[in-house]
Amino acid sequence: MDSKANQEPAACSDEHWMQIALSLAARGQGAVEPNPMVGCVLVKDQQLIGQGYHHAFGLDHAEVDALKSLASAAEAEGATAYVTLEPCCHHGKTPPCSEALIAAKVRRVVIALADPFPKVSGGGIEQLKQAGIDVTLGVLQQQAEALNAPYLKLVRTGMPWVIAKWAMTADGKIATVMGESQWITGQQSRHQVHLLRSRVDAIVVGMGTVAADDPLLTARINNQESQSVQPARVAQRIVLCHKRLPSSDAKLMQTATKIPTWLYCSPLVDSEQLRVLQEMGAQAVSLSTSDQSLMVRELLTKLGDAKLSNIMIEGGGELLGSFIHTQHCLIDECHVYVGATLFGGKQASGPIAGLGLPHLDQAPRFDLQSVDSFGQDVRMILRRI
């Protein structure tokens, strides 16, 4: 008789269960912001007995969602809870998750990442410990930080996470010498861009893009049956206006009463024209400077004050160039689509214009997160190191 047949299965590691919790947390992307994405699994006798995640802003947090998944509340007694972020300990839109875990009589709580939010910031951990619960912190911390990088940046700096997106040819051009640019990439790539639009808080363009492309800047998504699907999130459409303002005939203005449209304006714009656009439904925000690099920083500060956690830059080279300076780079993540074609030409535009950086050692460095192919196109996702 094989003696191994009677052996109990090997115990799963904390990392194993936390990885499941992180996968659950990611399901909330685009629906929970400005809250963090959080997942929770409940384990007892090496068996998964409950799981949950934060589904949408204002709904139950992950710990409560996991507890509600149990057949009975008594099942949680003596269990271990694996949570991707420190349980909250304050009353907000929902009651404190730390108190829910204490009331459930869990034996142990394993946490990936402490929450820097001032109303939590170690308080949840301390409450659990004071209740006699064993707490382990830092399991898969790097993965948890990567998942909630936009939330962490907003809490720590007061500014949103900046995603720069552009499509270019294999020789690095975003338009021909005559300015033609549609379409460098194919339909599959454009679908991915619309998916990105559907999960960010705002899409930012400059007046160059508005004048050249007359974009709508909405997320247009179809399901597998080619039916239109309403995105979970409708991004604000933001135009950074240095001297010019959109025409009243622009698609953005024609739909301003239906889709949030904001004009962030320097003191140089025409006040009478701005008043007309406001009457059409556009919201206007005055910036204190006409220096384009300072305008961008002020824009990010104001968006952070409004609790926007993810913004997508879809502007042309001049706007993207305003986010890169000799002393700092304001871009956190790049989604670069490369089409299988060549434009050539010294005068053909590249993705990032502006003054440029004079020295190699001033260039911001990025980490390659992923490389995917869509038809004949390639997408690279990079994150700032």
Can you say how many angstroms the Cα of residue 373 is from the centroid of all Cα atoms in its chain? 21
**Counts of helices then strands in the chain (DSSP H, E):** 12, 16
Q: How much is the average pLDDT of 67-91?
A: 92
> What pLDDT is stored for residue 231 in this prediction?
78
> What pLDDT is stored for residue 3 in this prediction?
45
Helix, strand and coil percent figures for the chain, each rounded to 5: 30, 25, 45
CATH number listed for the domain at residues 160-384: 3.40.430.10
Binding residues for Zn(2+): 61, 88, 97
Cβ burial of 346 (10 Å; 0-12, 13-18, 19+) is: exposed
Distance between CA atoms of residues 167 and 175, nearest Å: 10
**Class of the CATH domain delimited by 14-148:** alpha beta
Binding residues for NADP(+): 209, 213, 316-322
pLDDT tens digit sequence for 121-144: 889 999 999 999 999 999 999 999
Q: Which residue has the higher pLDDT, 293 or 283?
A: 283
Question: Does the structure show a pLDDT above 50 at 314?
Answer: yes
Q: How much is the average pLDDT of 284-308?
A: 95
Cβ burial of 358 (10 Å; 0-12, 13-18, 19+) is: exposed
pLDDT tens digit sequence for 175-219: 999 988 888 999 999 999 999 999 999 999 999 999 988 999 999
> What pLDDT is stored for residue 293 in this prediction?
87
Q: What does pTM read for this prediction?
A: 0.90
pLDDT tens digit sequence for 2-52: 444 444 456 789 999 999 999 999 999 999 999 999 999 999 999 999 999
> What pLDDT is stored for residue 149 in this prediction?
97
pLDDT tens digit sequence for 217-234: 999 887 666 667 777 789
Q: Is 63 a catalytic residue?
A: yes
> What pLDDT is stored for residue 222 in this prediction?
72
Binding residues for substrate: 167, 181, 183, 197, 217, 220, 314
Distance between CA atoms of residues 151 and 154, nearest Å: 5
Measure Cα distances from 251 to 216, 247, 271 in Å. 6, 9, 21
Q: What percent of the chain has pLDDT over 70?
A: 95
- Where do the domains of the chain lie? 14-148, 160-384
> What pLDDT is stored for residue 8 in this prediction?
46
Question: What integer best gives the mean pLDDT of the chain?
Answer: 92
Catalytic residue from among 33, 63, 86, 333:
63
**Of 265, 157, 256, which Cα lies nearest the Cα of 207?**
265
Token duo for residue 55:
């589904």
**Of 343, 22, 3, 341, which Cα lies nearest the Cα of 189?**
341
Binding residues: 61, 88, 97, 167, 181, 183, 197, 209, 213, 217, 220, 314, 316-322
Distance between CA atoms of residues 229 and 121, nearest Å: 38
Q: How many CA atoms lie within 13 A of 279 on its CB side?
A: 7
